[in-house]
Every structure is written in C-alpha cells, then in structure tokens.
Structure 1
Amino acid sequence: MTSRIDLTDKAKELIQELTDKHGPLMFYQAGGCCEGTQPQCFEKGGFYPRMNDAMIGLVEGYEFWIDRDLFEYWQFSHFTLDVLDGFGPGGFSLETPLGKTFKIHYRLFSEDELKDLEPVTRY
C-alpha cells in the first residue's frame, strides 16, 4: 500500500529527541487559525482530534492527525514531515523551545499511487 505520510531523517532525529524528553507523542495539523497549517507535536493525549478528523498514518509509531476540512482539500497529496530551524507561526508545539519547527512538504499522488492508498482512520 502507498503511505500517505513519510518523514525526513531530520524529522526522525527530532522525534527521537522529543520522545526521550516527553514520552509518547502525537501530531495534529490544523486547517487554520492561530497555528495556520503548521503540523503540531504534542504529548500523546495532549490534543484531542475533532469528530471526523483524519489520521493519515504513523510517523515513528506516532499518530499523525489532520483537520477534517484540511484533509478534504489535501486527500490526494502525499505528506513528508520535515524540520526547519527557527520558529513557526506559533508556540504550542513541543519542538518550539528547541528553536525548531515541523514543516510539511506536499506532492500529488501519481495515478498508480491513488489506486493503492493506505486507508485513513476517522475520529
């Protein structure tokens, strides 16, 4: 099956660092408001997805949730979780005090990939 989300080596390293410090994690990407569409990292259970939000896959074993409206817009896109130096648009995510910010790179799925996509889980 075609994965809906992958991650860079830099993201893997930061996730390990955050896991060592905070324990199990979760990710949520909102559709706007104060954090824009920046992916946010929380301690597991530190954020509750809304009804019909979509869990598109796991990153290093941790759930990656997407706002239901954002998923409708990006459902035909592959996500790659990456890390940049600096601060994103907000300060709620666990990596912020480290001077890092998670970022998503998008690309459209090919026709072949669309035929074999991993299913999403809805909350």
Structure 2
Amino acid sequence: MNPKISRLSATEQALDVIRKLEDQYGALMFYQAGGCCEGTQPQCFEKGGFFPRMNDAMIGTINGHEFWIDRDLFEYWKYSHFTLDVTDGFGPGGFSLETPLKKTFRINYRLFSPEEYENLEPVQRSE
C-alpha cells in the first residue's frame, strides 16, 4: 500500500519564520481566504485566533500547525499541492503574525498527477 500524498509542504525559509513565530506566540494556525480584502495569501494567527467557517477545509499541518482554506477556494485548488513559502514585504491587511518581521507568507502551487490525486491524504472539514 502506498503512503498517502500530502497536500501541503513548506520551504525551509517558511519554516524558519514559523519557528520564530512559535517562540514568540506558541501554537499557531494558518488560514487562506478567498476574499478580496485579504487576497488569497495565507495568514498566520495564534491558534484559536481565527475561526474557520462551516465546511472550510484543513488540508494538513505545518510543523504541527493546522492549515485551513476557505471552502470555495479549496474547491478551486483541490487538484493542487500547496507549498508555503515566505518573501520580504508587507502582505495584504497586515493581520498575519509575520508582518512585524517584514515578511509575507505566500503559496506556490503545482497540479497533482492523476496518480497522486487518487492517493491524497483526506481533508478535514470544519463544522
């Protein structure tokens, strides 16, 4: 039996920023919305600092921190692998915890192959 394919990964640069945020804030969570104001960049909050809407999708964890996606955005991107990355700059809204570090999380996407898509880890839905 083949191991399940993860929908999510992170670059070393993103993991470095996450470790700094863990030291300062403790447990974290990520949320990627599909709205106009926050754009579609992932935002990082203290765990419990944001409440996913009904039927939003948790596609995996990064360093043990849940990564949630807006339910409509997930339907659009469900055929894609998400790689969390970070870049210098000030993201939309400025509510994400990495903002004071003058960093912005971003996602790089790639489509799953048909074989990968058939063997993906399941998503968890909020109730």
Amino acid at match of 2:117: L
Question: Which of 10, 13, 17 is the equivalent residue of 1:10?
Answer: 13
Provide the C-alpha distance between the structure 2 equivalents of 1:112 and 1:7, rounded to a whole number of angstroms.
22
Matched, 1:106 2:113: no
Q: How does 1:78-97 map to 2 (within 5 A)?
A: 78-97=81-100
1:34 partner SS:
coil
Q: % of aligned pairs identical?
A: 72
Select 2:38's aligned residue among 13, 32, 35. Answer: 35
**Cα distance in structure 1, aligned partners of 2:6 and 2:108:** 14
Residue 123 of structure 2 corresponds to residue 120 of structure 1: yes
In the alignment, what sits opposite 1:55? 58
1:105 deviates by 0.2
RMSD of aligned C-alpha atoms? 0.5
Length-normalised TM-score, structure 1: 0.98
C-alpha separation between the residues in 2 aligned to 1:83 and 1:117?
25
C-alpha separation in 2, matches of 1:119 and 1:56:
8
Q: How many residues align?
A: 123
Output the CA distance in 1 between the equivalents of 2:15 and 2:101. 15
With the length of structure 2 as denominator, give the TM-score of the two structures: 0.95
SS at match of 2:48: coil
Please list every run of 5 or more consecutive structure 2 residues that lacks an aligned counterpart in the other structure: none
Query: Deviating runs (4+, > 4 A) in structure 1?
Result: none
How far 1:88 sits from its partner (Å)? 1.3
2:66 maps to a residue whose letter is: E
Q: Does 1:77 align with 2:106?
A: no
2:50 partner SS: coil
